Amino acid sequence: MSSIRTWRPGHDSSLAAMLRPLRRGPGDPTYKIIGQDHWRAIRTPQGPATLRLRQDGAEVESEAWGAGAEWVLEQVPGLLGAEDRPEEFRTDDALLASLLERFEVPRFGRTGLVMEALVPSIIEQKVTSTEAFRGFGSLVRRFGEPAPGPGADHGLRLQPAPEALRGIPSWDWLRLPVDPARSKAVLQAARVASAVERTAGLPGDEVERRLTSIPGVGEWTVAEVRQRALGDPDAVSFGDYHIAKDVGWALTNKPWTDDQLREYLESFRPHRARVVALIYRGAGRRPRRGPRMAPRTHLPS
Cα distance between residue 45 and residue 28, in whole Å = 22
Partners of residue 241 on adjacent β-strands: none
**Distance from first CA to last CA of the chain, Å, rounded?**
41
Nearest to 176 by CA among 129, 123, 253, 226: 123
On whether residue 266 sits in a domain, the answer given is no
Entry field: residues in the chain: 301
CATH number reported for the structural domain that contains residue 17 in this entry: 1.10.340.30
pTM score, whole prediction: 0.92
Q: Is residue 301 part of a domain?
A: no
Burial class of residue 20 (count of CB atoms within 10 Å of its CB; 0-12, 13-18, 19+): exposed
| CA 19 – CA 109 distance, rounded (Å) | 8
Total count of domains within the chain: 1
- Per residue of the chain (301 residues), what is the pLDDT tens digit? 889 999 999 888 799 999 999 999 999 999 999 999 999 999 999 999 999 999 998 899 999 999 999 999 999 999 999 999 999 999 998 889 999 999 999 999 999 999 999 999 999 999 999 999 999 999 999 999 999 999 999 999 999 999 999 999 999 999 999 999 999 999 999 999 999 999 998 999 999 999 999 999 999 999 999 999 999 999 999 999 999 999 999 999 999 999 999 999 999 999 999 999 999 998 766 665 543 333 333 333 2
Task: Give a yes or no: residue 255 inside a domain.
Answer: no
Domain, as residue range, for 76: 3-230
Query: For residue 249, is it within any domain?
Result: no
Residue type, 276: V
For residue 137, being part of any structural domain is answered with: yes
